[in-house]
Chains A and B, each alone.
Chain A
Amino acid sequence: MTTLLQQLVYGLILGGTVGLIALGYTMVYGIVQLINFAHGEIFMVGAFGALATFTWVIPEGVKGTWYITLPLMVIAGAVVSMVLALIIERLAYKPLRNAPRLAPLITALGVSVALKEAVRLWYPGATAPLPFPKAFLAGNIDIGPVVFPKTGLLLIVVTIVLTTLLQIYINKSRMGRAMRATAQDPDVARLMGINPDRTIVLTFAIGAVLAGVAGVLYGIHLTNISIDIGFQNGIFAFTAAVLGGIGSIRGAVIGGFIIGLVKTIAGQYLPGGTQYDYVWIFVVLIAVLVFRPQGLFGETERVRA
């Protein structure tokens, strides 16, 4: 029983990370029908941006004061990710806005490889995993024999809060309405006085900020980052977005939690153990897609005229 609860805790923590990243995939797909494979690397760069801020910007004296360091790192991670995403959108995706869908998809894969190699080449020491600071939130909350790392709890709470805020923003605000309109039909949205380019840029920016925040929290939780975290978690997040129904905010986060839980529970109880835990994630994905091709919360894809 303890074991099950412990694995559930670990699963939820992983799920929180994956869910936060998955939001970026699902929003961008919803609005421009682009699977932004570079999104995982934006998450990775966000983590490296925060680490750089910690190493070189934050003065030695306050590094141990968590209520100064942590917000600064989160902001740095979010800003670095956002700026990067905007540059990528402007240089790589915007010129291909009206190209066949495959063109931006291949571009996204290219951007992903370029970002990873750029960090490896130019971030000092990034050829190996780098230690990430944790000093400010060390320790666990013990619930009986079950260990709940404080950083993991923070990750889950932040994921749920940000998702709720995002859902409210998209449903209630003016810009949110513009985003939904652009997703439904960019041409008609333009006729109604919406600037689709601005809306698309905003979508990329929000997705990137969430990925940047996820990157920092992930780094704090595991206290190590490497250039490979983007690809690995990106694939999980993409799977989560598809599982939850691509285009759906709620679906992405729930998909993320499902993946986290499947990974840890399968590693514990299913034959093959941790050797095969990745396999079970995709087994679940296939099973869901066979019965609900649009994903758990997705809508059947509209055919564009």
Chain B
Amino acid sequence: MRKKVATAAVLAAGALLITSCSTNKSETPGGNAAGGNQCDTSKGTLTVGVIAPLSGELTALGVGIRNSAQLAVDQANEKCTVKGYKLVLDPQDDEKNPQKAGQAATKLSSDPNTVGVIGTLNSSTSQTVQPILSGKKIVQISPANTSPTLTRGEDYKNAPKRQFDTYFRVCTTDDSQGPFAANYLVQKAGKKKIAVIADGKTYGEGLANEFEAKAKANGATIVAREKVGEKDTDFSGVIGKIKPLAPEAVYYGGEYGAAGPLSKQIKEAGLNIPLMGGDGIVDDTYGKLGGAATQGDLATSVGAPADKLPEAKAFIDAYNAKFPKDQGYSAYGSMSYDATNALIGALATTLANADWSDSQRETLIKNVQSYKQKGANGDIAFDQYGDSTNKLLTVYQVNNGKFEPVETGKLDS
């Protein structure tokens, strides 16, 4: 799989070489091979960057993001959405590592033909990517960052302030997701004693904090607040600690790589309680790692379940036709598809009567800001902070190792 990524990167880099030699107006002969139809690509090639974990524990999520962005780009090329230009995707692997993500952002931003970047997956990696792309006025649209501080700053509750005017996201944030989970777990599922565990990263801690605050407000007792390493495989210390406190459920802020084994070890230690997590654990790998122990575990995720919305049907059919079975769109595929389409749509508006140059970047940012379309997750539009106006969330429950949607709704605070 890395090989494929490498090949794609080499191809993309090659394409860049051709164009960057002679500014962006050069002709790229045979540039419209994809689809084989006759789009006018006389003005050259523009690059859509992707930054996501394409190796490491979060590969399944990252590949879903990359493939879905690829699908959107290919469809745009076939439909000649951006007049005069051919679009190419340049996926970069960040290995969920902020430093690698920063390198990827620097690399993408050094190319004058990069119009925007789709990514990242992790909130922690976005923290390093945001300022780099912002410095070059490059649009970033994340399909998956859920930390509220990325758009509204540290004091997002009392004094929200837009952080970067180049940053947008199509998913809702943890200050809705955490409370949404707390409402479900405490009020609907009736769990009053809850142990909260988080993995110490921006996403996990943030989500756990939001959950904890709302769960307390709902009248639940937080019996323990623990922390595990994201690379841990042995959770016996934490489990031994929470077991005598007799929690009725565990809430975990983190991702499936640790959550799956954690759920299994909790049940093996004789604690028969469900684990609940956020969008980071919603992948079939969770069920594989946790085995039968995950039956009945819960999770929330952003948006409506992709296979339930009528608008999503077209996306899923096109995706399955294009990519092999083992590379599912995973939790964020439809989000990534929407994000890429928003970027391309805004780009098409920007370049309707103009040629691409650095001076177009300001216009592109404005056009993304005012973009409004129906996507695979419902409405795609951005508020004054760059957040999605679409605040839909869904509760999922594991049945036979697969996450099945239970209910979809909005946080009504």
Q: Could you list which residues of chain A lie within 8 angstroms of chain B, going by C-beta atoms?
A: 2-3, 6-7, 9-10, 13-14, 120-121, 127-129, 131, 140, 147, 149, 222-226, 228-229, 232, 263-264, 267-268, 273-275, 277-278
Contacts and interface: CB of A to CB of B under 8 A. Distances in A.
Interface residues of B, number: 37
B59 A128 contact: yes
A6 B233 contact: no
B237 A10 contact: yes
A223 B289 CA distance: 8
Central interface residue in A13, A121, A131, by most chain B CB within 10 Å: A131
A264 B236 contact: yes
14 contacts: A2-B244, A3-B243, A6-B243, A10-B240, A120-B55, A127-B57, A128-B257, A129-B57, A149-B268, A149-B269, A222-B234, A224-B289, A229-B233, A274-B226
A147 B269 contact: yes
B250 to A, nearest CB: 13
B285 interface: yes
B257 A129 contact: yes
Closest 5 CB pairs of A and B: A10-B236, A275-B227, A267-B237, A224-B261, A228-B231
Contacts, number: 97
A7 B233 CA distance: 17
Contacts of B269: 140, 147, 149
Interface of B: 1-2, 55-60, 200, 226-229, 231-234, 236-241, 243-244, 257, 260-261, 264-265, 268-270, 285, 288-289, 291
A222 B263 CA distance: 12
B226 A128 contact: no
Nearest to A267: B237
Nearest to A272: B227
B98 to A, nearest CB: 18
Central interface residue in A2, A10, A263, by most chain B CB within 10 Å: A10
Contact of B57 (A6, A10, A128, A268): A128
A85 B244 CA distance: 43
A141 B268 CA distance: 11
A225 B257 CA distance: 11
Contacts of A223: 261, 264, 291
Contact of B240 (A127, A224, A226, A264): A264
Contacts of A224: 233, 260-261, 264, 289
Contacts of A273: 226-227, 241
B233 A129 contact: yes
A13 B237 CA distance: 11
A267 B238 contact: yes
Contact of B237 (A7, A127, A222): A7
B60 A14 contact: no
Central interface residue in B59, B229, B241, B264, by most chain A CB within 10 Å: B241
Contacts of A140: 268-270
A128 B241 CA distance: 27
